[in-house]
Amino acid sequence: MHQFTRAVFNSQNGQFRFVGKEEQQVADACKRLVQDVIVCWNCYYLNQQLCKLHLPSGWLADAIARMSPVSWQHIDLQGEFDISGLG
């Protein structure tokens, strides 16, 4: 989980360099939001893949136990996202 946090928040060597406490809180909340979105997407995707497999119940439980929604290697964390046009 710590590696995941560092991967999501990698600017300025992972250190907050903001003027005030409010800016730090906003940056931390944004980091948590990005992490939550990644985990939700991974859970959705893993569920879709498991449903396609049609495994016997014992095997399905074993497959679920070996998976983790805390994975980010397949996501471009260096991208720039403009959500100003949404809503």
| Domain layout of the chain by residue ranges | 1-7+32-72
Q: Give the SS3 label for residue 56.
A: coil
> Is the pTM here over 0.85, yes or no?
no
Is the CB of residue 70 less than 8 Å from the CB of residue 4?
A: yes
| One pLDDT digit (tens) per residue for the chain, 87 residues | 777 777 777 655 556 566 688 887 888 888 889 889 988 988 888 888 878 877 777 777 777 777 778 888 877 777 776 667 765
Residue whose entry in the numeric block shows the structure tokens 């909340």: 29
CB 6 within 8 A of CB 14: yes
